[in-house]
A and B are shown apart, each in its own frame.
Chain A
Amino acid sequence: MDLDDDTSVLSTLKSFNSFISLPEHPQRPSDHSATGSGILHNQYKRSMELLEAAEKVQSKNRYLQLDQEKKRMEMSHKRARFELERAVSDNARDLEHEVDRNQDLVGRIKKLEGRETDAAKNLCEQVEASRALRKNLDGLNKKIDERDSRLNTANQTISSMKDEIRELKQQMQNKDSTISAQTLENQELQEQLDLQRRKYQEVSQLCQSLQAAESSCSEHVIKIKELERRLAFQEEDIAIVKTVKLEVARLPDLEKELKRLRDDNAFLRESRENCSLLKEEVEGLRRKLERMEKTKEELVNMELEKERLAEKLKAWENLGQSTGLNIRKPDDLSREVIQIQQREIALKEQNYSLNSRVRSVERSQAELRAELSQQRSRTMEEQKKREAQDALVRRLQKRILLLTKERDGMRAILESYDSELAPTEYSPQLSKRLREAEDILQKTQNHNAEMETQLTKAQEETGTLKLQLHTVEMELERLKKQQASVADSSSLTTKEEVGILRQKIEDLEAERQRLEEQNNILEMRLERHNLQGDYDPVKTRVLHLKMNPTSVAKQQRQQEVDALREEVTHLRELVRSLQDGGALVHSQDESSLHGSSLGLSLPPSKEVLDLRKQMESSELRNQRLKEVFQRKIQEFRTVCYVLTGYQIDITTENQYRLASVYAEHMDDSLLFKKGSSGSMQLMETEFSKTLGEMVALHLHHQKSIPAFLSAVTLDLFSRQTTL
């Protein structure tokens, strides 16, 4: 296929090249003949066609290439697919294998698990079995232990029993020894008894001789008493001589002392005089001191006064500046003062004169006022009279006017009537009218009179009222004058009050002084108390440290006292104990220390304690040594008994008793005595009597005690075994 493709490609290339080469030939000649542009255009078209063909060819080539590639790819794909399929199949096979294996493994696992559970169960069972076994073991161990303990206890009991047996044997032996010792003692006592009897006989003989001697003794005793009396006198004389000698020996000392005392006396007298002188000096100095202190106080006071005076002086000096006067010296001041005083005196004189004038003026004023009042009253009365008279006058004038008017009227009437009379007869009418008119007139006159009377009454009333007013005014004025006069009189009363007040002031001042003195005394007392250390518990509190030196010292003192008391009691007990011990000692000894009181001197406690300690230690040591020695001796004795076959006891001094192991009777024993030369000798006993042959052989001939003893043992042993 590729070759085909190649050949197709080659063929197309050949065709293309041939196609290209063809138009080139005709192009050359056509260039010369045809017109340029048409040819070019055709050429251009051909080139374009060629290009297109080339492109097509190229695309075809490409297409073919791609096809080839695609086929190749497909091939490769197929191959790959094949391979993959193979691989897949392989994998599938593997998978199956694996699955099979897996199943196998799973099966195995299950089996193994089953086995594991079985194994676990077995394990548990075995663990339980082991536990059970262990428990059994423990139980067995415990049993074993119990048995061991029992064994041990049994062993211990056995050993204890053995010890007891040994002890009992030893006790028995001891008892035997003690019995033998006691028998020996018995013998000894009997011997002593014999001795005593012999002695008694001798003593009786001696008694007789004694009685003879006693008589001689009594005679001697009398002589001795006489001699003793003489001795006593001589001793007294000796004592007297000794005292005299002592006194004589003391004489020079006394003389020396006398001299010294005389010197001291003289010196003391001188010093006494000096003392008195010094005391006088001291007193003088004290007085001086007091005086000095007083002068100091005075000085202080003086200084204070000086300061005050200086202040005053300054004030005085400043006065000039303060008052504004031309003052530089005290003379100026005194002059000023004198001037002022003079001015004052002048002013006072003026004052007095003015006062007297004033009083006179006042008096005249009063009189004038009184006159004035009287005049006023009079004027008022006259004014009223005048007014009344004026009023009367007015009334009269009015009356006159009225009357004149009436007259005129009446005249007019009359005239009219007179004029009218002629025609008619009206004289009665006229008379009536006349009468009526007169009546009316009278009435009016009466009325007028009444009115006038009323008027006058009213005027009188007003007049009286005015009078009253005036009188009241006068009274007021009088009262005012009285008040002024009363004010003068009240000045007198104030003077009395002033006097009373001054007395009160004096009393208060006296009280103040008294209170001041009391205050001073109280302040002194307070000062004193303050000096002594008193305080007000409401405001102050006194504190001190708990651990202060006084309390510490007191505690220490207390402790010392307690310690001393304990020591004293302890010492008293010691003394008492020693006294009792000493008393016991006295009673035992019956010595001549009865006369003396405690002849014992208390050794110091430290030594006693040390000695006691030493004693105790030494006693302990002794005890231990004794124990050790006893043990060792016992051991040795037992060993000797076991090895030699003889128990050797010491009965009395230098006497040894031997008892054989194989002795037939308990009493069979040999007695040996140690002689003065150091050699051992056999004593006669019942047992030794039976061994006469051996004694003769071994002791007398061979002169060997060990041989004898060994022969005895062999003999006894033979007897024992045969029996």
Chain B
Amino acid sequence: MTSTLKGITLKGSAELVAEFFSFGINSILYQRGIYPPETFTRITHYDMSLQLTTDPKLKNYLTNVVSQLKEWLFECTVQKLVLVITCLETSEVLERWQFDIECDKSAKESREKSIKTIQDEIRSVIRQITATITFLPLLETPCAFDLLVYTDKDLLVPDKWEESGPNIINQSEEVRLRSFTTSIHKVNSMVAYKRTDSV
């Protein structure tokens, strides 16, 4: 999605952030083994190789969420995106990948920031996500994931979406990861996981 214009508009920024989320979520699912690795194919993006799922149901779900997220990013009404990993047997939350989104609402014209810089930042974030897997505890039980979106209270809830709880882990360790900014949207990433000695 490299635009030939130098400036970043609100729409372009929303698209970049949504694209990052799509690839980021795919790589997290691959790395944590939520879905079997044979259902992923390798593709090249941001000058690095990433894994993308081929499961049609999962693809459909992700496109639905990401397209709605793009709208909300354009309207600057979304505050956070959270990927929650729950254990199926005990129904308790094991991991929580949280992405805070800060939107500069005063951006009416396009801002000057090169796409290359943004892509470098995104690449470093995804690399860091991959690196954090080394110290996260193993997920031994079968798990499922869910995507939560923190939005403004007065937003109209579209159909097919419903309110849910924050799914917070009790007794969690948090690690703050890198952030990247498109000069209109700033995305901070962090991961929270359940402490292993308390499991």
CA distance A531 to B173 in the complex (A): 9
Check if B144 sits within 8 Å of A541, measured CB to CB. no
Spot the interface stretch: B4-12, B39-47, B114-122, B157-165.
B157-165
> B168 to chain A: which residues have CB within 8 Å?
532-534
Whether B181 sits at the interface, judged by CB under 8 Å, is no
> A540 to chain B: which residues have CB within 8 Å?
79-80, 150-153
Best-surrounded residue of B58, B168, B169 (most CB of chain A within 10 A): B168
Best-surrounded residue of A528, A531, A543 (most CB of chain B within 10 A): A543
Check if A545 sits within 8 Å of B161, measured CB to CB. yes
Check if B147 sits within 8 Å of A545, measured CB to CB. yes
Known: A544-B162, A549-B58. A554 touches B152 (CB 8 A): no
Check if B163 sits within 8 Å of A548, measured CB to CB. no
Shortest Cβ distance from A539 into B: residue: B153
- Which B76-117 residues sit within 8 Å CB-CB of chain A? 79-80, 82, 84, 86, 88, 91, 96, 98, 100
Check if B61 sits within 8 Å of A549, measured CB to CB. yes
> A643 to chain B: which residues have CB within 8 Å?
none
Is chain A's interface secondary structure helix, strand, loop, or mixed overall? mixed
CA distance A544 to B161 in the complex (A): 6
> A546 to chain B: which residues have CB within 8 Å?
160-162
> A535 to chain B: which residues have CB within 8 Å?
79-80, 150, 166
Check if B146 sits within 8 Å of A550, measured CB to CB. yes
> B142 to chain A: which residues have CB within 8 Å?
553
Shortest Cβ distance from B176 into A: residue: A531
> B91 to chain A: which residues have CB within 8 Å?
554
Whether A530 sits at the interface, judged by CB under 8 Å, is yes
Whether B148 sits at the interface, judged by CB under 8 Å, is yes
Check if B155 sits within 8 Å of A541, measured CB to CB. yes
Shortest Cβ distance from B150 into A: residue: A540
Shortest Cβ distance from B72 into A: residue: A543
Check if A532 sits within 8 Å of B172, measured CB to CB. yes
Check if A545 sits within 8 Å of B153, measured CB to CB. no
> A554 to chain B: which residues have CB within 8 Å?
88, 91, 144
Check if A547 sits within 8 Å of B88, measured CB to CB. no
Check if A542 sits within 8 Å of B160, measured CB to CB. no
Nearest Cβ in chain A — how far from B53, in angstroms? 11
Check if B88 sits within 8 Å of A541, measured CB to CB. no
CA distance A557 to B141 in the complex (A): 13
Whether B149 sits at the interface, judged by CB under 8 Å, is yes
Check if B174 sits within 8 Å of A549, measured CB to CB. no
> B167 to chain A: which residues have CB within 8 Å?
533
The count of A-to-B residue pairs whose CB atoms sit within 8 angstroms is 103
Known: A538-B153, A540-B79, A554-B91. A545 touches B144 (CB 8 A): no
Check if B98 sits within 8 Å of A541, measured CB to CB. no
CA distance A539 to B78 in the complex (A): 11
Shortest Cβ distance from A531 into B: residue: B174
Which of A534, A542, A547 is within 8 Å of B163, CB to CB?
A542
Whether B192 sits at the interface, judged by CB under 8 Å, is yes
Nearest Cβ in chain A — how far from B39, in angstroms? 13
Check if B160 sits within 8 Å of A545, measured CB to CB. yes
Shortest Cβ distance from B165 into A: residue: A542
Shortest Cβ distance from B170 into A: residue: A532
CA distance A534 to B150 in the complex (A): 10
Known: A528-B174, A532-B169. A543 touches B162 (CB 8 A): yes
Check if A541 sits within 8 Å of B153, measured CB to CB. yes
Shortest Cβ distance from B85 into A: residue: A550
Shortest Cβ distance from B142 into A: residue: A553
Best-surrounded residue of B91, B100, B144, B167 (most CB of chain A within 10 A): B144
Q: Annotate A549-562 by CB proximity to B: 1 below 8 A, 0 otherwise.
A: 11111100100000
Check if A542 sits within 8 Å of B86, measured CB to CB. no
CA distance A365 to B144 in the complex (A): 98
Known: A542-B149, A549-B61. A534 touches B157 (CB 8 A): no
> B57 to chain A: which residues have CB within 8 Å?
552
Check if B144 sits within 8 Å of A549, measured CB to CB. yes
Whether B65 sits at the interface, judged by CB under 8 Å, is yes
Q: Annotate A489-532 by CB proximity to B: 1 below 8 A, 0 otherwise.
A: 00000000000000000000000000000000000000010111
> B162 to chain A: which residues have CB within 8 Å?
543-546
Shortest Cβ distance from B161 into A: residue: A543
Whether B190 sits at the interface, judged by CB under 8 Å, is yes
Nearest Cβ in chain A — how far from B88, in angstroms? 6
Nearest Cβ in chain A — how far from B189, in angstroms? 11
> B147 to chain A: which residues have CB within 8 Å?
544-545, 548
CA distance A542 to B165 in the complex (A): 7
> B98 to chain A: which residues have CB within 8 Å?
531, 533
Check if B150 sits within 8 Å of A557, measured CB to CB. no
Whether B64 sits at the interface, judged by CB under 8 Å, is yes
Check if B144 sits within 8 Å of A543, measured CB to CB. no
Known: A533-B82, A554-B144. A543 touches B153 (CB 8 A): no
> A533 to chain B: which residues have CB within 8 Å?
80, 82, 96, 98, 166-168, 192
Known: A532-B168, A532-B172. A542 touches B150 (CB 8 A): yes
CA distance A57 to B7 in the complex (A): 123
Check if A532 sits within 8 Å of B192, measured CB to CB. yes
Which of B144, B152, B161, B192 is within 8 Å of A531, CB to CB?
B192
Nearest Cβ in chain A — how far from B74, in angstroms? 16
> A541 to chain B: which residues have CB within 8 Å?
150-153, 155, 157, 163
CA distance A553 to B167 in the complex (A): 17
Nearest Cβ in chain A — how far from B46, in angstroms? 25
CA distance A553 to B87 in the complex (A): 10
> A549 to chain B: which residues have CB within 8 Å?
58, 61, 144-146
Shortest Cβ distance from A551 into B: residue: B146
CA distance A547 to B64 in the complex (A): 11
CA distance A375 to B91 in the complex (A): 109
Check if A530 sits within 8 Å of B165, measured CB to CB. no
> B84 to chain A: which residues have CB within 8 Å?
550
Check if A543 sits within 8 Å of B152, measured CB to CB. no
Check if A550 sits within 8 Å of B176, measured CB to CB. no
Nearest Cβ in chain B — how far from A428, in angstroms? 132
CA distance A548 to B25 in the complex (A): 14
Nearest Cβ in chain A — how far from B73, in angstroms? 14
- Which A655-671 residues sit within 8 Å CB-CB of chain B? none
The 3 A-B pairs with the shortest beta carbon distances in the complex, nearest first, are A553-B144, A531-B174, A550-B144
User: What are 19 A-B contacts defined by CB distance under 8 Å?
Assistant: A528-B174, A532-B168, A535-B80, A535-B150, A539-B153, A540-B150, A542-B150, A542-B166, A544-B149, A544-B162, A545-B61, A545-B65, A546-B161, A547-B61, A549-B146, A550-B84, A552-B57, A553-B88, A557-B88
Beyond contacts A532-B169, A534-B166, A539-B152: 9 other A-B pairs, Cβ-Cβ < 8 A, are A531-B174, A533-B96, A535-B80, A543-B149, A545-B61, A546-B161, A549-B144, A550-B146, A554-B144
